[in-house]
Amino acid sequence: MDVLARERCRIFIFFLVWEVDGVMGDRPPCSERFDSHLDPEYRFCPVCGCTLHTEVLKPSEPERPVCGRCKFILYLDPKVVVGTIGQIAGRIVLLKRGIEPSYGRWVFPGGYVDRGETVEEAAIREAKEEVNLDVEIDRLLRVYSYRGERVIVIAYAVNVVGGKLRAGDEAIEVRTFSPEEIPWNELAFRSTGDALRDYVRDYLNESAASPG
């Protein structure tokens, strides 16, 4: 009995040591090195949970967050936002944001594109979610990107084909504005003003020049 118990114990310790060695032995411990200027949103490796640090991997590229243990490289891609500018009875649909950033400021309906979704699908979905309108895309207005900004905005001129104007859960208020009434000093983002200016100057003038 004693011999058997001792043998079992030996086998258990053997596997315990083998396990621990397997987990710890083939990769270095998690580094404590931490860059204070790293985007605080991304402090930890999504693969192994270690702290990230920044490294210049190629001289021509910006420094990137890298995991010291598993070497995972975090590529900080831009986020893609789609927006829709459309009218009801000749008046432009805007909503007052009920969430940060830019809480309480005006913007046209829009939001982030989900992975796997087309930008057009996202634009149509966001118009429904944010102001309860069914829209069809008339044409691409422009793509707006700014140095140092993490968001790229794709704005579409759309036709409202159905639905009833109503604020979604991320808006405080929805209403329509004639081009003269647009609240230029109360707009949410730089792209909001740029796209509305392009819409009024280019799209509405073109539409007026070639009705139908």
Given 7, 55, 121, 173, the catalytic residue: 173
Cβ proximity of 122 and 113 under 8 Å = yes
Q: Is 70 in the site for Zn ion (CB under 5 A)?
A: yes
d(CA 95, CA 83): 12
CB 118 within 8 Å of CB 198: no
173 is catalytic: yes
Q: How far is the CB of 33 from Zn ion (least distance, A)?
A: 13
Binding residue for Zn ion, selected from 30, 48, 119, 165, defined by CB under 5 A? 48
Candidates 72, 105, 168, 198: give the one binding Zn ion (CB under 5 A). Answer: 72
Q: How many residues contact Zn ion, by CB under 5 A?
A: 8
CB of 41 to Zn ion, least distance (A): 17
Strand order in the sheet with 110-112: 110-112, 79-85, 151-163, 133-144
3-state secondary structure 101-129: CCCCCEECCEEECCCCCCHHHHHHHHHHH
The yes or no reply on residue 44 touching Zn ion (CB under 5 A) is no
Q: Which residues are catalytic?
A: 173
Footprint of Zn ion (CB under 5 A)? 45, 47-48, 50, 67, 69-70, 72
